[in-house]
Amino acid sequence: MKETTKTNKKDETMSLFRQGVISSDRNEAIKVISDLNERQTYTKEEILNSVILGDALKVLKKLPEEIFDMVFIDPPYFLQLPKKELRRWTVKTVVEGVDDDWDKFPSFEEYDKFIQNLLTEVKRVMKPNATIWLIATYHSIFRIGKIMQDLGYWILNDIIWVKTNPMPNWLGVRFTNATETLIWAVKDKNSKKYTFNKDYAKQFGIGKIGANVWVLPLCNGKERLKDEKEKKVHSTQKPIELLKRVILTSTNEGDLILDPVAGVGTTGYVAKALKRNFVMIEINPKYVEWIKKRFEKPLKITDKPRVSERKINQYFNLGDKP
């Protein structure tokens, strides 16, 4: 009986290879699956350590329930930046904002619907004791928090990410926005035995108590993916250090992590380096190509925080203001 099931699964996988749905190149550093409408379900084995090219709202429905230990979501921000060119206040250089199509929604209502559908589908695939992280700026984090609570998620913490190199304020009409917020939550109030590696949490948070504030730079330098014209591949690529902190504090080796809006795949890339398993979903084929490229060069990292306490202290004591 067992043998037959095994053979059937093998036949099914072979047939998918022939259809070109699963990447058949054994040398490829990451398995790529192109989701098709006619495909009804995926097994956990099939999707393990892969990136699925498709719409998260459709793909999530096809995944088995309660398989993930942790979920990281960095959704569209819905920044609604003005169409005109923005120039910085003093230096007058042009601001490269997020004006990608994937960040555009016709209204708050449509944006909320997208987030609500995403969070509803994700809840089904989370294990009962899994945790979920959501990151956003002031443009959407409050709406997301409300939607999460309305869906029954129970918020454990918010972490404030203080950026040491934020985008400068260009018009001089508001405070410089140097933070993003991460919400960390469980599926519901009764989820108790979730993973929390408190020693890491203490190391990464600021001060003696390891407070819920992480100080680290935006993704830049060699880490930032650039195309042949030296243009950023993705406007909101997240720093490896950020994902490292998320993964180390809330998972153990061998755990399975989901990122349903993967961008250029930072979550899976860091998960692999830290010996965790992952599944990523991304709708844009260009980003999936870059994920493939990125995985060709495996990441090497340690579990120590990359930003030293001394640097953080320097950052918070800037001396006299100009």
Provide the binding-site residues for ligand SAM, judged by CB under 6 A: 55-57, 74, 76, 102, 234, 236-238, 261, 263-264, 266, 281-284, 287
* Contact yes or no for 240/266 (Cβ under 8 A): yes
CA distances from 54 to 21, 25, 110, 263 (A): 12, 20, 20, 12
Residues in the chain: 322
Cα–Cα dist 243/253, whole Å: 15
Between 131 and 266, whose beta carbon lies closer to ligand SAM?
A: 266
Between 206 and 219, whose beta carbon lies closer to ligand SAM?
A: 219
Between 16 and 135, whose beta carbon lies closer to ligand SAM?
A: 135
Smallest distance from ligand SAM to CB 37, Å:
15
Cα–Cα dist 121/60, whole Å: 6
- Backbone φ and ψ of 179, nearest 5°: -135, 155
Between 102 and 184, whose beta carbon lies closer to ligand SAM?
A: 102
Q: Structure tokens of 96? A: 């490269």
Q: Pairing mode, if any, of strands 179-186 and 126-136?
A: antiparallel
Between 35 and 202, whose beta carbon lies closer to ligand SAM?
A: 35
Smallest distance from ligand SAM to CB 229, Å:
19
Between 135 and 148, whose beta carbon lies closer to ligand SAM?
A: 135
Smallest distance from ligand SAM to CB 16, Å:
20
Among the listed residues 278, 226, 207, the one whose alpha carbon sits nearest the alpha carbon of residue 247: 278
Residue number with the smallest Cβ distance to ligand SAM: 263
- CB contact set of 213 (below 8 Å; sequence gap of 6+): 159, 160, 162, 205, 206
Smallest distance from ligand SAM to CB 15, Å:
25
The strand ranges marked E within the chain are 31-34, 50-53, 68-73, 126-136, 154-162, 179-186, 213-215, 256-259, 277-282
Smallest distance from ligand SAM to CB 126, Å:
17
Sheet holding 213-215, edge to edge: 31-34, 50-53, 277-282, 256-259, 68-73, 126-136, 179-186, 154-162, 213-215
Smallest distance from ligand SAM to CB 51, Å:
10
Smallest distance from ligand SAM to CB 308, Å:
24
Smallest distance from ligand SAM to CB 120, Å:
13
Smallest distance from ligand SAM to CB 78, Å:
10
Between 160 and 210, whose beta carbon lies closer to ligand SAM?
A: 160
- Sign of the Cα pseudo-torsion (203, 206, 212, 217, in order): negative
Among the listed residues 225, 249, 210, the one whose alpha carbon sits nearest the alpha carbon of residue 299: 225
Between 29 and 57, whose beta carbon lies closer to ligand SAM?
A: 57
Between 264 and 271, whose beta carbon lies closer to ligand SAM?
A: 264
SS3 157: strand
